[in-house]
Structure 1
Amino acid sequence: MKREFPEPAFIRSNGISMAVYEEGAGFPVILCHGFPELAFSWRHQLPALAQAGFRAIAPDQRGYGLTEKPDAVCEYNIGKLTDDLVGLLDALELEKAVFCGHDWGGHVVWEMPLLHPDRVAGVIGVNTPHRYFRRMGSDPVAWIVQHFSDRNYRLAFLQEGVEDGLTPELLPRFFDGLFRGRPITMEQYLAAPPKVRNLEFEFIMEAALAEEPAGRQLLTQEELQVYVDAFSSGGLTGPINWYRNLVTNSEILAGTPEHIAVPCLMLSSGDDIFLPPSSADGTERYIADLEMHVIRECGHWTQAEKPSELNAIILDWLKRRFA
């Protein structure tokens, strides 16, 4: 029997309406999705956390799903995104929570103990390491060009209107091709042509829209329809506006602390070409209380590709630190 995802509650946070999905009771764990995902991307984690005695809380973040989508690019900078999570705590009358984030959600949760240290009990990074964007320095565009190329997908997203090519008619094919389990191994990636190693926009689009996409299909037809409906209705401009704040974010974070005092858990996936395990090298220099794991034979979409393994590591850590 198919298990239903919780119905959303709507709160006011930081001036916007936010859709929040909850399950369970106990110490709160806030789950922050990445791009182009939804709170629904934590569908395998919410019940596991709830059954283990935690209060699992997954918002559709600013610009996504049923949460409000401001027009201005500046409404999606790291200050706004972290303030949204503080507003979420306030609306739910919570003093602190453990924040768990994947992909862009990981970038946000790693900044929470640095920008709002009094509201964070712990941090879990899924694929995304601490300081991934901070290491780009004051000119992230130049850093991306140097380490990848000027055709890297993140730079493509800086172009106004790039999202218009993904029409609602293309979305089913796009999401079905994008959300795939381990489409390429790390060994294959390192030996691939430059457009692949540089994560160029054209390569990603070609891979997602291929007639027979590589990798194991991760979405059922019902799950695929959740993403298609959400992004057909809400569009991709809000989510891509997160990328359009790369330079602004470097300015906001300049001079802020980098060392984290709360307990942290970092989980990498062995075959994630976007955020490889090597991107977490040196994290221990900035976090005194840090535990690190690598989930083998897993690509970027860890919550859906290896849910049991991910859940087991997270729950073991949470029970030892916050039960």
Structure 2
Amino acid sequence: MSEIKHARVEANGLSFALSTAGDAGPLVVLCHGFPELAYSWRHQLPALAAAGFRAVAPDMRGYGGTRGPNSVDRYSVFELVGDIVAIVQALGEREAIIVGHDWGAAVAWQAALIRPDMFKAVCAMSVPFQPRRPGKLPIDSYRKITAEKGLGEFYIVAFQDEGRVEAEFEVDVERTMRAVFGGIAEEGREADRWSLYAKPGEPLLQLHNPRPLPAWISEREFAVFVDAFRANGFRRPIHWYRNIDRNWLLSAPWQDASIGVPALFITGSRDPVRGFAGAAERALAEFVPDLRGSVVIEGAGHWVQQEAAAEVNEALLGFLKGL
């Protein structure tokens, strides 16, 4: 397997930390989600390089080695897409294939939607494409739905309160990250599962006892994430969530628009995102007419490219080789 190297590139007014593998071939840019790092793609970068691709994963705006601005409004999805456009150009390329997981999937879908001239294909993991629909602002809609169902406070709504959630998360970063990575319970550990909803007065992430890490991540790998969030905190990454309403307002020109480039969707059968985005997943083919596959990896949870690396690599490389 090809070695993962590290570099920096100046793009869109920021200095991005990059993890790279492969020096030639079609460019593949991999965008991580929350709360992750370019390191989340450690299993995919060498596999892509070995298959003849030039693979690049940035620490996204506000994460890890990429310091981002303090202002909330500097984290709209359009700035995030602009970051990837500028990275492609800074690498001397005119086009790329974009891959994303979680929030990175939202960036990937949006990049393919508004810059199909540059992003010739898209692979998204965990988060399906959700076309802009007319109606209420998304956060108001989340509040109404959860109130009607008596579910408690949805985590995306809680994230809107600047300062509150990051303070909770930063009290004990290791504990927080164990809750995040381990809280999507493996088989036989359903009692450890944490909810995406919090009851009044309860912390968002509940972790009653220290738990062993899931089998898919070692203590050494886990320490990479803990060290990064200890150093930089959670505020800038959570700013991405604080732009959800702003993104909806700014995306009016693309209402009901479709993704025109070849696409692949990958998710885990146990991914909790399917609980509130299942309708969008089922409707993918309607708004992604060149959908080449929708792969559900049995037994995998939300951190699918880390949990089921071999299966994800097989699906991703099959898609890329078929373009």
Assess same fold via TM > 0.5.
yes
CA distance in 1, matches of 2:134, 2:72: 20
Q: Name the residue aligned to 1:170.
A: 172
| Contact 1:177 1:210 (8 Å CA) reproduced | no
Which letter maps to 1:299?
Answer: G
Q: Name the residue aligned to 1:288.
A: 289
Q: How does 1:55-134 map to 2 (within 5 A)?
A: 55-131=54-130, 134=132
C-alpha distance 320-249 of structure 1, shift in aligned 2 (>3 A)? same
C-alpha distance 72-66 of structure 1, shift in aligned 2 (>3 A)? same
| Contact 2:5 2:21 (8 Å CA) reproduced | no
Name the SS for the 1:118 alignment partner. coil
Q: Percent identity?
A: 36
The correspondence for 2:248, drawn from 232, 247, 250, is 250
Q: Name the residue aligned to 1:265.
A: 264
CA distance in 2, matches of 1:86, 1:203: 38
| Contact 2:127 2:273 (8 Å CA) reproduced | no
Q: Name the residue aligned to 1:318.
A: 320
**Per-residue displacement from partner, 1:147-174 (whole Å, max 9, x unpaired)?**
334611111111111201223x611122
Q: Name the residue aligned to 1:236.
A: 234
CA distance in 2, matches of 1:4, 1:170: 35
Name the SS for the 1:231 alignment partner. helix
Unaligned runs of 5+ in 2: none
CA distance in 1, matches of 2:212, 2:285: 34
C-alpha distance 296-273 of structure 1, shift in aligned 2 (>3 A)? same
Deviates more, 1:20-29 or 1:171-180: 171-180
Tell me the CA shift for residue 238 of structure 1. 0.6
Tell me the CA shift for residue 86 of structure 1. 0.5
CA distance in 1, matches of 2:308, 2:239: 29
CA distance in 1, matches of 2:133, 2:42: 32
Name the SS for the 1:57 alignment partner. strand
Tell me the CA shift for residue 211 of structure 1. 1.1
| Contact 1:6 1:22 (8 Å CA) reproduced | yes
| Contact 2:143 2:154 (8 Å CA) reproduced | yes
**Per-residue displacement from partner, 1:186-224 (whole Å, max 9, x unpaired)?**
xx79xx9xx94x633857510xx3315488343212111
CA distance in 2, matches of 1:236, 1:79: 21
| Contact 2:168 2:203 (8 Å CA) reproduced | no
Superposition RMSD on alpha carbons, in Å? 2.5
Q: Name the residue aligned to 1:183.
A: 185
Q: How does 1:205-224 map to 2 (within 5 A)?
A: 205-206=205-206, 209-213=207-211, 216-224=214-222
Q: Name the residue aligned to 2:307.
A: 305
Tell me the CA shift for residue 27 of structure 1. 1.1
| Contact 1:303 1:310 (8 Å CA) reproduced | yes
Unaligned runs of 5+ in 1: none
Aligned residue pairs: how many? 308
Name the SS for the 2:197 alignment partner. coil
C-alpha distance 40-64 of structure 1, shift in aligned 2 (>3 A)? same
**Per-residue displacement from partner, 1:60-81 (whole Å, max 9, x unpaired)?**
0000010122010011001110
Q: How does 1:191-202 map to 2 (within 5 A)?
A: 196=195, 199-200=197-198, 202=202
C-alpha distance 229-118 of structure 1, shift in aligned 2 (>3 A)? same
| Contact 1:138 1:250 (8 Å CA) reproduced | no
| Contact 1:181 1:305 (8 Å CA) reproduced | no
CA distance in 2, matches of 1:138, 1:97: 34
Q: How does 1:1-20 map to 2 (within 5 A)?
A: 6-20=4-18
| Contact 1:184 1:215 (8 Å CA) reproduced | no
Which letter maps to 1:282?
Answer: A
User: When the two structures are superposed, what TM-score results if normalisation uses the length of structure 2?
Assistant: 0.88
C-alpha distance 301-221 of structure 1, shift in aligned 2 (>3 A)? same
| Contact 2:2 2:46 (8 Å CA) reproduced | no
The correspondence for 2:159, drawn from 157, 160, 165, is 157
Name the SS for the 2:254 alignment partner. coil
C-alpha distance 22-271 of structure 1, shift in aligned 2 (>3 A)? same
**Per-residue displacement from partner, 1:93-114 (whole Å, max 9, x unpaired)?**
1111111100000001000122
| Contact 2:31 2:105 (8 Å CA) reproduced | yes
Q: Name the residue aligned to 1:141.
A: 139
| Contact 1:181 1:216 (8 Å CA) reproduced | no
Tell me the CA shift for residue 252 of structure 1. 1.0
CA distance in 2, matches of 1:114, 1:38: 24
